[in-house]
Structure 1
């Protein structure tokens, strides 16, 4: 057997595999014997079918399968031994389609494949590479808003006689024209964008009416939902004046800061005072801010790496490979998503080079722990008081990882986290304190 490769250019190459009968016949003979032992054919006792009969009846099919397996295995070995960083999988060259073989166990075969190679480049991250690591502080406005949202989440609904800002009006909206739109629906006053209209809806009682311009009052998506029409129809409204008539006023009263409220948010008895509650809220908010800061740092590292690595890819090969592995994809769909595919591929190669160069290893325990974190967050999202045991989380995580797709996703996430933590330790991070409002404006 002879395997060799020849570069076409920096990112394309061809692999040639040559097989003589002595290369493939041992595995073909073994496969025929195995088939004879398992075959159940009329006129023969189980396991007693002569190998000659199997060779005559199924020989060419077995030969084809064994050669295909042998070639694939040997190409994979060759790629590994020669440390070729291959993109996608090898594809048979079109010229091989014209090859004419007898498939009589005496042929000398020659197979040619095209491969795409990852471009050569230096990973652009070093100790002198500088990034800003933001330390986001919880300002009073953010904390006040968070406390308000928590109190409203556990508050009670009331029906006051007179409307105030923030109430939900159950009302009829009637378009100011004959045979116009008429819809009875809930109108949240907190989403109204026009200050004058918002003020006009304060102080209303049941059966009071007021005329409003709905396009000034609401965003298109909100207006479409309120009127029960499409966004295109909302944009195309010819008459935007509507009469709003109040049917009922709904108000969500904020929960009192008492023990009952504290125990709904935290394990019973953990928080007993208002000061402890505010401290817990601040801790929760600033932990979320740490995640935001980390995500910003990751985005900055990604942007830096993508800009610094300016390389060419074997685009023609990759498009051909994508078509071969996704036969139902249209040319239009392929072109539409190809730029994003190349960006993802570039960053994957950068990450893999960092992993290889620094002998980073993603361990099973790390994937398990990441799965447990995701499951815990999901449980707490739906039931803040439920506290699963570590044993339960472990069982859930193992079940989750039995799904190959989920396991691959979590492995890639764990790898990305390992790369990020490695970069944080091996570049220069300049810490900068910032409040949340200013942080939110950074990328705008």
Structure 2
């Protein structure tokens, strides 16, 4: 069996395969015998169908399948041996050669395949490259907002007589026209966008009525939910003035800063004073900010790498490959998403070359640990006091990794984290303290 390749240019090549009877007949004969043992045909006992009968009936189909298997395996071996950095998979050239062959187990077959090659470029990260890693501090406003949310989460619902900003109004909205929309529902005043509308809903009592321009007050998605209509219907309302009549006022009162509240958030007795509580909240918030800082550094490295690497890709081949592997995709859909596809491909090549150059390896235990970490964070999000055991986390992780798509996603995430850690060791990192409110404005 002969395999060779010929470069058309730096990013396109052809692979030629020649396969003779002595290359394929042993495997084809075995496949015919295996099928004879399994075949159930009229006139023959199960497993006793003569191989000659199977060959006459199904021989050409078996020959075709086995040749495809052999060629696919050998091409994969050849690509690995030649260290070709192939994009996608080889595609058979469109010229139809089937008519040239008798498929009589005596032909020597010649097949041609197109391949796309990854462009060659230098990895742009070195010990001369400098990035900033931000040490994010919680400003007073951010801490106050976090404390308020915690107190409201463990607070109690009351029904005051007069509305204030942030209340939930149970009210009837009636469109200002005959036979218009009328809906009684709960309305969160904190999601109202227009300051004047929000102010008009402060100081209301039960049965008070006020006119509201709902298009000014709400985003389309919120308005559709409140009125019980589709987003298209909400977007195209012919009359946007509604009469709002208050039926009831609901207010979530903040929990008192007492021992009962502290023990709901932290292990019993760990926090006993407001000062300790504030310090714990600050520690929690700033730990979360470390994730923001790491994500910002990753984004900066990604942007730097993408801007520095100027590479051409075998675009025509890649579009054909996308169509071949996704036959339901329309050409217009491929064109619309192609730029994003190339960007993802470019960064994947950068990552893979960093992995290869530094002998990085993703181990199964690391994927399991990341799955456990994600599950733990999700559990704590819904119940801060729940402490799952390692055995429970292990069980949940195994269930998660049983889903191939989730397992692949976590594998890629571990690989990305390893590449990030490697880059942090390669480049210069400058640390800079910054308040969270200023950090949020960095990329705006």
TM-score (norm 1): 0.94
Which range is displaced more, 394-403 or 210-219? Answer: 210-219
Q: Any unmatched runs of 5+ in structure 2?
A: none
Question: Are residue 104 (structure 1) and residue 95 (structure 2) matched?
Answer: no
Match of 2:334 in 1: 334
Cα drift, residue 28 of structure 1: 2.0
Structure-to-structure mapping, 1:5-20, within 5 angstroms = 5-20=5-20
- Structure 1's unaligned 5+ residue stretches are none
Equivalent-residue separation in structure 1 for 2:162 and 2:49 (angstroms): 93
Which moved further from structure 2: 315-324 or 241-250?
Answer: 241-250
Separation in 2 of the partners of 1:355 and 1:403? 25
Question: Displacement of 1:297 after TM fit?
Answer: 0.9
Distance across 1 between alignment mates of 2:222 and 2:177: 22
**2:346 counterpart residue number:** 346
**Matches of 1:157 and 1:356, distance apart in 2:** 58
Cα gap change, 1:286 to 1:62, in 2 (>3 Å): same
CA distance in 1, matches of 2:357, 2:73: 27
Q: C-alpha displacement at 1:179, in angstroms?
A: 4.2
Q: Distance in 2 between matches of 1:245 and 1:35?
A: 77
Greater CA deviation, 392-401 or 95-104? Answer: 95-104
Give the equivalent residue in structure 1 for 2:435: 435
Indicate yes or no: 2:268 matched with 1:268: yes
1:136-173 C-alpha deviation (Å, 9 max, x unpaired): 10011111110000111111110111222221222223
Give the Å deviation of 1:328: 1.1
Residue 204 of structure 1 aligns with which residue?
204
Q: Deviations over 1:222-272 (max 9, x none)?
A: 334333344454454454443332221111101112232223223334333
Q: Residue 66 of structure 2 corresponds to which residue in structure 1?
A: 66
- Alpha-carbon distance between aligned partners in 2 of 1:212 and 1:59, rounded to the nearest angstrom: 78
User: Which residue does 2:422 correspond to in 1?
Assistant: 422
Instruction: Give the Cα separation in 1 of the matches to 2:201 and 2:35.
Output: 83
Partner of 2:335, secondary structure, is helix
Q: Hey, what's the Cα distance between the residues in 1 that align with 2:297 and 2:26?
A: 57
Residues 196/62 of structure 1: CA separation in 2 closer, same or farther (3 Å cut): closer
Distance across 1 between alignment mates of 2:65 and 2:22: 16
User: Structure 1 residues 55, 194: CA separation in 2 closer, same or farther (over 3 Å shift)?
Assistant: closer
Task: Give 1:133 deviation, angstroms.
Answer: 0.7
Q: How does 1:104-253 map to 2 (within 5 A)?
A: 104-237=104-237, 239-253=239-253
Distance in 1 (CA, whole Å) between partners of 2:64 and 2:191 is: 68
Quickly say closer, same or farther: Cα 1:78–1:272, change in 2 above 3 A.
Answer: same
Whole-angstrom CA distance in 2 between matches of 1:207 and 1:437: 41
Q: Kindly state the Cα deviation for residue 5 of structure 1 after the two structures are TM-superposed.
A: 0.3
Match of 2:56 in 1: 56
Distance 1:345 1:213 in 2: 47
Contact 1:96–1:111 under 8 Å retained in 2: no
Choose 363-372 or 322-331, whichever is displaced more: 322-331
Confirm or deny: 8 A CA contact 1:212 1:243 kept in the other structure: yes
- Kept in 2, the 8 Å contact 1:172–1:245? The answer is yes
Give the Cα separation in 1 of the matches to 2:150 and 2:231.
32
What is the deviation of 1:429?
1.2
CA 1:33–1:247 in 2, change beyond 3 Å: closer, same or farther? closer
